[in-house]
Structure 1
Amino acid sequence: SEEDAAAVYKAARFLNMTGSGYVWLVGEREMSGKALSEAPDGLIGLQLINGKNESAHINDAVAVVAQSIQELFEKENITEPPRGCVGNTNIWKTGPLFKR
């Protein structure tokens, strides 16, 4: 929430984490209202054009995931994941790519 972000910014200022050499990457909520009044210099955030439109948010999120998966399949060698967890000690080699 904006209040939580403001509290984090205040604590960061107290811990000297807001001066030269620090950059803050934040979401839309963390750079508005009460949060913005406490925000440190070096704040970088993303404000969505359709920030109040829930269906546009969902559409954008699905599009990002779809594009990421498409690029993954086009650029990487996708291996078959393990069929289960119980008794399986094999690590899925492609797993970390999905997590990125």
Structure 2
Amino acid sequence: VSRSIVQKAVCVLSRCPFFGLLQQRLSPVTHAYFDQKDFRCTALLSSFHAQLDSVPFEKLSEGELLLGMDHSTIFRGLRHELLSVLKAILLEGKVLVYSAS
């Protein structure tokens, strides 16, 4: 069986919750990576990883960590799952919500 479409994704696992900064930097990298249409060439992702590793996250302010995050949109989008997400946060689970829309 052959498929005409193969889904691919770029996923970042981070110990630091710098969501806004991550979203701001990951979006153009992801677009460029998928636009090149050669998924064997990972130099772009490697340089993004190196750049991300060089960020002194312990020195970032809370405003920088949450840069560009609109909380009301997230809460409206989660609706019934909001309590599950809040529970994960209270249990110190790592939660990241990102949407292109």
Q: For the superposition of Structure 1 and Structure 2, which TM-score range results when normalised by the shorter chain?
A: under 0.3
TM-score by length of 2: 0.24
Larger radius of gyration: 1
Normalized per residue, the structure richer in helix is: 2
When you count strand as a share of all residues, which structure comes out higher? 1
TM-score by length of 1: 0.25
